[in-house]
């Protein structure tokens, strides 16, 4: 029987689906004179909307940096508009005359639009009646971005502590398979080998305006992002002709865990400078699960920062951001040690040149640095008997640089640039023996081996609007170089040459088709490649995985390759939206772990040693469905379901840590001019029985949760919210929560039981 390669099958699949879904026909373009101008403005901020695509009969164009849009001199029929952040809009011929007379078209952002496989979670929303995710003042107060991301059913988190260090999982992809970026360039690397401090925990949410979760390897402008990209964007600092100021103060309290949070921001603007100062503090204690058992989950978390923007002249601006994060005495019920101290500095310097018009339209250059100093130990653990004291002091440094040019060339939009990112990690583990034959002795184990990875890349992303069709193509080529500057002797016995250099090409191609009567379809195909991270290459006998086996890094790992297809179908109608998304992903050289019976663990209680290896092939597939509907009495509802399937084809068993089907039903309202905003949410999660026997992964029971809240705007500047989470006091565990230490039989970390909270926010606006 004749066989076909994966590449051939994907190509045939892409062509077949394209022909069926899009019915692509030749598009004939004709040049037309332009003679009429309108201004595109954001309906909330009144700022211009750049790079909006327009089609009017056979004419196509793009709005400039100033939001100005040129239309043909001859009258045309329907005017079709599209934008990645504002969605699709049609101005019919009957409305066009009035629009031309007014000269201004206002447009609301639509965070629910998925032109790419992307979810936009708005942290500072205006009055938008049709949003996929609505957030409250709690999000400014949130001390961990990973927790906020779980508002999307397609995003789960790995939990090792009750209230801190939530590590995002997007469609079953996790850790270095995801690319987390702040303001287009900045990133951070966990210093803790057990990822007590994942990159998401270092994001200061009270500085952020939104996060875009691009699911799949399609955001190649910002990195390979094998399984997805998390783009956090800080709130813009605008200039004003007159001296102006703004401020905000929020606070909140939760009964379950005695959790207290507060955050604030103050700033001013003028012609040439805009400055924001912000800070937040959160602390909590042990919480009670649905069975009435107390879970060790105390923590202290603070964040302080400044964001300054300077207008050098009409075309040049300079922006500087400095953030200081700290954490103290964070209890991790699922780990053998707790986080005792975490000190992080994050800096970012950005220059923008705005040219306007055709050709080179914008040029952005930025440099960044992130520095993490982390200490964990077991001194807070109630061990009886206490066999040894353990501590690990670790540090990471991340340096980044990026330059990107934006070109407007008629109907074409092109982003092109280059970037550099270097990650360094160092630190050792100290073991002080208190009992047994080694009592009185101390052992020091190499953990990171002073490892370093440098990624250098060039990238481009091209947009071409063909009326009701839109083509988006992107590519990246990266050079990955890795080394261990101080390798342990036992590591060199396994890998005499720990130095690595690999080239990683990636490409993504998408086609969006806007149909009549509200239908939109989009199809994306991509192949992305990423090299192994610091843990996968250089970790040295530490239990950092799902089970308690000690892991041994492997610098000889091949790059992981993801070949993925995404299909999205969206139907908009008066008062609602239906959306279906499906994806399939073939993973070559998937990075996993394999037991090494010939190697002895460093800690006798560990069951053995695993080595990072490549599996020849793995499969992930799944999808999401959502329905948003507006109802009478200013009510709206949303139903959202997400499901993922993962298969280890080498071992013919399920992949580990795949979240189960997650469904949410929400109903919310806005009454008396937004003075009262109630919301009720039911979450239903099915049992997960497809688990990995290789890693001894236990099954998880299904559960249902009821949450309610109501926001009351007492004054124009004062809003109070009262709500309850898990009101039925369900005893449940998320499937990706790790098992608790010191508990027999082994059980997953249970989530908090019933929790009542109140928040208040005093906001003088921007």
Structure confidence by residue, pLDDT tens digits, 641-668: 999 999 999 999 999 999 999 999 999 9
673 Cα distance to chain centroid: 33
What is the distance between the alpha carbons of residues 540 and 452, in angstroms, rounded to a whole number? 14
What is the distance between the alpha carbons of residues 223 and 221, in angstroms, rounded to a whole number? 6
What is the distance between the alpha carbons of residues 226 and 179, in angstroms, rounded to a whole number? 8
pLDDT of res. 673:
86
Question: Which residue blocks in 436-533 are alpha helix, DSSP H?
Answer: 489-494
What is the distance between the alpha carbons of residues 412 and 62, in angstroms, rounded to a whole number? 8
**Kind of pairing between the strands at 287-288 and 755-763:** unpaired
**Residue 268: both structure tokens together:** 């001013």
What is the distance between the alpha carbons of residues 588 and 694, in angstroms, rounded to a whole number? 19
CB burial of 248-260 (b: ≥16 within 10 Å; e: otherwise) equals: bebbbebebbebe
Tell me: pLDDT of 470 over 80. yes
Looking up tokens 């002709």, which residue turns up? 241
**Kind of pairing between the strands at 228-234 and 178-182:** parallel
Per-chain mean pLDDT for the chain: 86
∠ Cα 136 137 142 (to 5°): 100
Instruction: Quote helix, strand, coil % in the chain, to nearest 5.
Output: 10, 55, 35
Name which CATH class applies to 118-763.
mainly beta
Tell me: pLDDT of 617 over 70. yes
Q: What is the mean pLDDT of residues 490-511?
A: 95
Q: If we measure between CA atoms, which residue out of 207, 150, 149, 151 comes closest to residue 180?
A: 149
**Kind of pairing between the strands at 118-122 and 104-107:** unpaired
pLDDT of res. 743:
67
Contact 225, 217 (CB under 8 A): yes
Q: What is the mean pLDDT of residues 548-568?
A: 96
What is residue 450's three-state secondary structure? coil
Report phi then psi at 589, rounded to 5: 55, 40
**Residue 763: both structure tokens together:** 């906001």
CB burial of 489-514 (b: ≥16 within 10 Å; e: otherwise) equals: eebeebbeebebebebebbbbbbbbb
pLDDT of res. 28:
33
**Residue 57: both structure tokens together:** 């009969």
If residue 17 lies in a helix (H) or strand (E), which one and from where to where?
helix 6-22
Instruction: Measure the N-to-C terminal CA separation of the chain; round to a whole number of Å.
Output: 68
Instruction: Kindly report, residue by residue over 534-549, the tens digit of the pLDDT.
Output: 999 999 999 998 889 9
**Residue 178: both structure tokens together:** 């995801």
What is the distance between the alpha carbons of residues 456 and 418, in angstroms, rounded to a whole number? 8
Tell me: pLDDT of 227 over 50. yes
Would 31-107 and 118-763 be classified into the same CATH topology?
A: no
What is the distance between the alpha carbons of residues 535 and 193, in angstroms, rounded to a whole number? 7
Beta-carbon contacts of 61 under 8 Å, excluding residues fewer than 6 positions away, are 34, 53, 54, 69, 70, 71, 410, 411
More confident: 693 or 765: 693
Report phi then psi at 366, rounded to 5: -145, 155
The dihedral formed by the CA atoms of 441, 444, 445 and 449, expressed in degrees to the nearest 10: -170
Beta-carbon contacts of 119 under 8 Å, excluding residues fewer than 6 positions away, are 132, 133, 152, 154, 155, 212, 213, 215
Count of CB atoms situated within 10 Å of the CB of 229? 25
What is the distance between the alpha carbons of residues 519 and 692, in angstroms, rounded to a whole number? 40
pLDDT of res. 6:
44
What is residue 32's three-state secondary structure? coil
Instruction: Kindly report, residue by residue over 297-312, the tens digit of the pLDDT.
Output: 999 999 999 999 999 9
What is residue 618's three-state secondary structure? strand
Q: What is the mean pLDDT of residues 624-643?
A: 94
Radius of gyration of the chain (CA): 26
The residues spanned by each domain of the chain are 31-107, 118-763
Beta-carbon contacts of 21 under 8 Å, excluding residues fewer than 6 positions away, are 513, 521, 523, 567
**Residue 634: both structure tokens together:** 């200013």
**Residue 159: both structure tokens together:** 């939990």
What is residue 493's three-state secondary structure? helix
pLDDT of res. 99:
74
**pTM of the full structure:** 0.85
Percentage of the residues of the chain whose pLDDT score is greater than 70: 85
pLDDT of res. 64:
65
More confident: 21 or 737: 737
Q: For the ranges 13-17, 67-71, 248-252, 654-658, which has the lowest average pLDDT?
A: 13-17
Q: If we measure between CA atoms, which residue out of 151, 191, 190 comes closest to residue 174?
A: 190
Q: Bridge partners of 94? A: none
Instruction: Kindly report, residue by residue over 55-92, the tens digit of the pLDDT.
Output: 665 566 677 656 777 776 666 666 767 775 676 677 76
CATH of 31-107, one of 2.60.40.1120, 2.60.120.620, 3.10.620.30, 1.10.1060.10: 2.60.40.1120
Question: pLDDT band for position 27 (50/70/90)?
Answer: very low
More confident: 709 or 15: 709
Q: What is the largest CA-CA distance in the chain?
A: 93
pLDDT of res. 180:
93
Q: For the ranges 30-44, 227-241, 585-599, 631-645, which has the lowest average pLDDT?
A: 30-44
Question: Which residue blocks in 74-214 are alpha helix, DSSP H?
Answer: 93-102, 138-141, 145-149
Tell me: pLDDT of 475 over 90. yes
Instruction: Kindly report, residue by residue over 109-154, the tens digit of the pLDDT.
Output: 654 444 456 677 766 543 222 233 444 556 778 888 898 899 889 9
What is the distance between the alpha carbons of residues 125 and 135, in angstroms, rounded to a whole number? 8
**Residue 743: both structure tokens together:** 């508990």
What is the distance between the alpha carbons of residues 755 and 287, in angstroms, rounded to a whole number? 9
């Amino acid at each position: 029987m004749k066989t076909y390669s994966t590449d051939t099958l994907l190509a045939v699949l892409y062509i077949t689906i394209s022909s069926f879904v899009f019915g692509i026909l030749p598009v004939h373009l004709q040049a037309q004179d332009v003679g009429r101008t309108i201004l595109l403005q954001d309906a909330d901020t009144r700022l211009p909307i750049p790079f909006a695509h327009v089609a009017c009969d056979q004419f196509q164009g793009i709005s400039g940096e100033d939001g100005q849009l040129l239309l043909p001199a001859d009258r045309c029929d329907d005017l079709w508009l599209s934008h990645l952040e504002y969605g699709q809009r049609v101005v019919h011929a009957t409305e066009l005359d009035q629009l031309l007379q007014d000269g201004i078209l206002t447009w609301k952002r639509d965070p629910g639009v998925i032109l790419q496989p992307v979810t936009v979670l708005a942290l500072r929303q205006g009055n938008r009646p049709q949003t996929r995710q609505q957030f409250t003042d709690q999000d400014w107060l949130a001390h961990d971005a990973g927790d906020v991301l779980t508002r999307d059913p397609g995003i789960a988190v790995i939990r090792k502590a009750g209230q801190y260090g939530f590590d995002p999982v997007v469609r079953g992809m996790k850790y270095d398979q995801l690319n987390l970026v702040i303001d287009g360039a900045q990133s951070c690397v966990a210093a803790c080998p057990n990822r007590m401090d994942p990159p998401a925990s270092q994001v200061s949410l009270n500085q952020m305006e939104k996060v875009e979760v691009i699911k799949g390897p399609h955001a190649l402008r910002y990195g390979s992002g094998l399984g997805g990209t998390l783009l956090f964007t800080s709130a813009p600092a605008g200039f004003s002709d007159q001296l102006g100021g703004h401020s905000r103060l929020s606070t909140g309290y939760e009964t379950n865990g005695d959790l207290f949070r507060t955050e604030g921001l103050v700033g001013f603007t003028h012609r040439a400078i805009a400055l924001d100062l912000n800070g937040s503090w959160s602390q909590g204690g042990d919480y009670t699960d649905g069975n009435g058992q107390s879970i060790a989950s105390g923590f202290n978390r603070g964040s302080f920062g400044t964001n300054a923007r300077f207008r050098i002249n009409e075309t040049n601006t300079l922006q500087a951001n400095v953030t200081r994060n700290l954490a103290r005495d964070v209890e991790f019920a699922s780990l053998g040690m707790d986080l005792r101290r975490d000190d992080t500095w994050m800096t970012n310097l950005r220059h923008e040149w705005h040219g306007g018009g055709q050709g080179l339209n914008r040029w952005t250059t930025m440099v960044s640095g992130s520095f993490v100093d982390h200490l964990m130990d077991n001194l807070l653990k109630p061990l009886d008997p206490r066999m040894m004291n353990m501590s690990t002091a670790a540090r990471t440094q991340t340096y980044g640089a990026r330059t990107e040019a934006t070109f407007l060339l008629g109907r074409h939009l092109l982003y092109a640039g280059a970037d550099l990112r270097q990650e360094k990690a160092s630190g050792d583990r100290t073991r002080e023996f208190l009992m047994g034959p080694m009592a009185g002795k101390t052992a020091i184990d190499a953990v990171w081996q002073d490892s370093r990875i440098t990624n250098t890349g060039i990238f481009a992303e091209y947009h071409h609007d063909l009326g009701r069709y839109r083509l988006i193509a992107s590519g990246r080529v990266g050079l990955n170089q890795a080394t261990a500057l101080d390798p342990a002797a036992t590591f060199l016995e396994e890998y005499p040459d720990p130095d690595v250099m690999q080239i990683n090409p990636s490409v993504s191609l998408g086609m969006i088709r806007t149909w009549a009567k509200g239908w939109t379809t989009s199809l994306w195909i991509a192949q992305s490649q990423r090299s192994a991270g610091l843990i996968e290459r250089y970790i040295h006998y530490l239990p950092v995985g799902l089970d308690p086996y000690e892991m041994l890094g492997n610098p000889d790992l091949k790059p992981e390759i993801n070949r993925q297809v995404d299909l999205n179908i969206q139907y908009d109608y008066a008062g609602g939206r239906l959306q279906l998304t499906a994806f399939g992903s073939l993973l070559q050289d998937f990075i996993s772990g394999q037991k090494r019976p010939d190697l002895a663990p460093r800690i006798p209680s560990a069951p053995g040693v695993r080595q990072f290896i490549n599996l020849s092939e793995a499969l992930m597939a799944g999808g999401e469905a959502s329905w948003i509907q507006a109802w009478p009495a200013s009510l709206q509802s949303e139903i959202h379901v997400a499901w993922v399937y993962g298969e280890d084809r080498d071992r013919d068993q399920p992949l580990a840590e795949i979240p189960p089907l997650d469904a949410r039903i929400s109903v919310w309202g806005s009454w008396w001019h937004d003075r009262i905003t109630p919301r009720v949410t039911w979450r239903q999660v099915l049992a997960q029985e497809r688990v990995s026997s290789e890693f001894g992964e236990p099954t998880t029971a299904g559960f249902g949760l009821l949450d309610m809240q109501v926001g009351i705007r007492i004054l124009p500047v004062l809003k109070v919210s009262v709500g309850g989470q898990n009101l039925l006091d369900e005893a449940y565990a998320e499937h990706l929560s790790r098992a608790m230490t010191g508990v027999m039989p082994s059980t997953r970390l249970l989530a908090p039981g019933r929790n009542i909270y109140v928040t208040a926010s005093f906001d003088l606006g921007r």
